[in-house]
Structures are given as C-alpha cells and as structure tokens.
Amino acid sequence: MAIKMRVLHKGKGKIPALATAIHQDFQLNVNAIDTILPAYPLNNERLTILLLSTKGEFEEKITRFFREFDKAHTQNVALVIDGGEAAAEKVKNLLTAAGTNVIDDVLYVKNSFLPFLNALKDEEKAAALAWAHRIVDGLQ
C-alpha cells in the first residue's frame, strides 16, 4: 500500500532535482509535488517532505504557511535542508509549534555558489532516495 505523501520544495540547484527524484521514485501522482507555497492545499497527508534552501530569512508568507502545519494538513514532516543545523532547527520549531511531528533525521545537501556546480550527482541522488525510503519505512 502506498503512503499518502507530498513533496514540496523551495530553492535552486539540487533542491528541485531532489524533489523530482523522490516524487518519481515513489511514483506519486502529479499533484504530489509542488513548490512552496503549493497550488493545492495539504489534506491529511501521512508525510510531507520539505526540501528547502534556508539561506537568509524566509518570506512572511512561507513562515505563515509553516505555522499552519497541523495534523489536519500533515501528520509527519521530513526535511531536506540546503543550509546548516541552525536553519533546520528554526524550521523544525515552526512546524512543531503548529502541531505536526517533525522527523529527527534531516538530510543536508550543499548547493554551490557557482550554478554550474549544482548538478545532482548519482551518489547524492542515491543517498537522498535511501534516506526517503528509510523515512517512509519508519512510518509504515
């Protein structure tokens, strides 16, 4: 049985490529991948994977979106972060305060300042997919 999940992303470089890879690997429906802020609302998702570039401050509308994450929207959130642990903690705190479970296992990726160095490598894709399967298997 497939898990009801969504993949949402905001950022450049490897972030959208990883979102697409996870979406395709789990063979999710077409509406299960979107940017943040999504076109379709979250509705009782078992898992939402957020892929974020956390450099700088989030726009107020994104912070507000995170504050709305509760069990009616999504039960669990897993994070893929382009940034450091402090940025991940900030996102975790917003989501936890809203009432959703944030999975402790955060996947960190590094984007380069040089756009031509941001191609997703096979080993990065494999590691991200293994991480995503670990998360999903832990929920089932």
Query: Over the stretch 11-47, which tens digit does the pLDDT of each residue have?
Result: 888 999 999 999 999 999 999 999 999 998 899 999 9
pLDDT digits (tens, 9 = 90+) for 67-105: 988 989 999 999 999 988 988 998 999 999 999 999 999
Nearest-angstrom CA–CA distance, 9 and 50: 6
Residue 58 has pLDDT above 90, yes or no: no
Q: For residue 46, give Cα distances in angstroms to 1, 23, 64, 127.
A: 13, 15, 21, 22
Q: What is the distance between the alpha carbons of residues 117 and 115, in angstroms, rounded to a whole number?
A: 5
Please check whether residue 117 is in contact with residue 59, taking contact to mean a CB–CB distance below 8 angstroms.
Answer: no
Say how far apart CA 43 and CA 40 lie, in whole Å: 9
Rounded Cα distance between 90 and 116, Å, is 29
pTM: predicted TM-score of the whole model, two decimal places: 0.92
Q: Which of 18, 32, 11 is nearest to 87 (CA)?
A: 11
Q: Residue type for 57, please?
A: E
Confidence band, pLDDT 50/70/90 cuts, at residue 115: low
